[in-house]
Each structure stands twice: as C-alpha cells, then as structure tokens.
Amino acid sequence: MKVVIFAGGLGTRIAEETDTRPKPMVEIGGKPILWHIMKIYDQYGYDDFIICLGYKGFLIKEYFMQYYLHNSDITIELGSNKLDVHYTNSESFKVTLVDTGLSTKTAGRLKRIQKYIGNEDFMLTYGDGVSDVNLPELVKFHKAHGKSATVTAIQPEARFGGMEIGDNGIVNTFKEKPKGDGKWINGGFFVLRPEVFKYLKDDADDTMWEDDPMEQLAKDGQLMAFKHHGFWKCMDAMRDKLELEALWQNNQAKWKIWK
C-alpha cells in the first residue's frame, strides 16, 4: 500500500525554520520530521512513498538523492573518482517525488499524484505530524467498513491547564493540559480507496482536501473515523518544534515505535 505525504506548504507559522527550507525538512533530533513520519510507516512495512512537493521541494529531492551516501561508510579515490561503499544503514524506502506546484492546495496536490496511485487503496498524511497510531489496526478498520475514506480522529491536548472553581473561590478540580472539549479533529493518517478521486475536480489546485471533498464524503456517508487515543503531535508552530525536540532528547518520543 502506497503512502502519500503532503510536503509542499509554506509553513508560515514556523517561519523561523522555514525561511530556508520546507517545513517537512525541519529537524527533530537531527533528522527531518518527514523522516520521522516515514519511519512510523516503515515500522509496519509500508515503505513505498509518494511525496507531494511544493515550496523549496528541490531540497527534499536533494536530501533523498544524497541519502544513501550520507548514511554509508565510503572510500573515495579522488584521482579516478572511484567510490567504494563499505557499509550502509540506509532504509529501503521507495520514494516518488512529485512537484505538485508552489501554491497548490491539498486537494490539488492529491489530484496531481493520482496517476501514481493506480487502482489500489492508499494512505495519506501530512508532512508535519507524528503519532503512535497503530497503522495495521487502522487499515483493518478501513477494510472492514467498506467506505471510501477513513480519517484518524484525535482529541488534541489543551495548551493550558484547566480548573473548575466554586462560588467561594475554591478550586474543585484541576487538570494540567487536559484533552480538548470532547470534540474529535482530523489527525491525518488517512486510508483511502481510489474512488476518492471522483470527489476532486479536474482543476482542484484552489481546493483544500479538508473542505469540499471531505465534506462531500461525509454527506455521502463515505467517511469513517478511526479514533486514536494515544500520542499525536503536529508541528504547527515553533513551540511545537521545541516540545518535540525536548521529547526526543529526553527519550520520551512516543512516536518512535522503531528500534
């Protein structure tokens, strides 16, 4: 099953990092967050990726073009330009890199990679979010219900702690960073059938996948939610990047499901 990753946005809310590189190339623990996402899928045997490029996409192309050498022990004979590779710890990813436009919105990016999908179910996620979602269980759920689309639903953690205060000022309950208000939101990590492409216009460049296509899927009863109660974190702003880095450095990165 192929894995499509949106990796073309401008990342304006983390401009401190994205002025010189695309958001999926922002590093956590010395590796791009895109690599972390791919490792999550790879752990379960999903290693065939289609990456939707846009803003500074050439940097992502260069990263993967050089990936094998950067993760290998090599000897170079400069006089003859002979290269010997002694050892590599490079993953066996298959990566298709597709330029889907600088300002194309997510539905348009998905439409532009349709020809690489074929007639098989596929996965889709964003290039800035990590999770410990159980992908085999997600796929099993998707296959069992028979609908066109499955979205992983999550309840995000609140930014601040919450209190219930009585009339006399006494704090009746306190919870540090509770889950949200009970609502479930789109956490990415989709599983889709190829018929979802009929929900995308031929010229979908100005359409968000999360707007009309998903809304119409829901209206048609073709969108199912897989509830994930575990870890999920989106690198939306600089504070998120710093939180993810701290988790990694303190060996608390719950999305690190690989050895």
Over residues 202-255, the pLDDT tens digits come to 999 999 999 999 999 999 999 999 999 999 999 999 999 999 999 999 999 999
Count Cα atoms within 13 angstroms, Cβ side, for 109: 30
List the structure tokens of 120: 């098989």
pLDDT digits (tens, 9 = 90+) for 174-217: 666 666 666 889 999 999 999 999 999 999 999 999 999 999 99
Show the tokens assigned to 138.
């997600």
Q: How many CA atoms lie within 13 A of 7 on its CB side?
A: 32
pTM: 0.90
Nearest Cα to Cα of residue 149 among 192, 104, 203 = 192
Specify the pLDDT at position 171: 62
Domain residue spans in the chain?
A: 3-249
Which homologous superfamily is 3-249 in? Spore Coat Polysaccharide Biosynthesis Protein SpsA; Chain A (3.90.550.10)
For 114-172, how does the pLDDT look when each residue is reduced to its tens digit (9 = 90+)? 999 999 999 999 999 999 999 999 999 999 999 999 999 998 877 656 667 677 666 66
What pLDDT sits at residue 21?
94
Cα(232)–Cα(221) distance, integer angstroms = 26
Averaged pLDDT score across all residues of the chain: 92
Alpha carbons 214 and 18: distance in angstroms, whole number: 28
Secondary structure in 3-state letters for the chain = CCEEEEECCCCHHHHHHHCCCCHHHCEECCEEHHHHHHHHHHHCCCCEEEEEECCCHHHHHHHHHCHHHHCEEEEEECCCCEEEEEEECCCCCEEEEEECCCCCCHHHHHHHCHHHCCCCCEEEEECCEEECCCHHHHHHHHHHHCCCEEEEEECCECCCCEEEECCCCCEEEEECCCECCCCCEECCCEEECHHHHHHCCCCCCCCCCCCHHHHHHHHCCCEEEEECCCCEEECCCHHHHHHHHHHHHCCCCCCCCCC
Q: Is the dihedral of CA 11, 17, 18, 23 positive or negative?
A: negative
Enumerate residues 6+ apart whose C-beta is below 8 A from 43.
257, 258
Q: Which residues contact 139 (CB under 8 A, 6 or more apart)?
A: 1, 191
Tokens at 109, concatenated: 């990016």
| Cα–Cα distance measured from residue 22 to residue 256, given in angstroms and rounded to the nearest whole number | 22
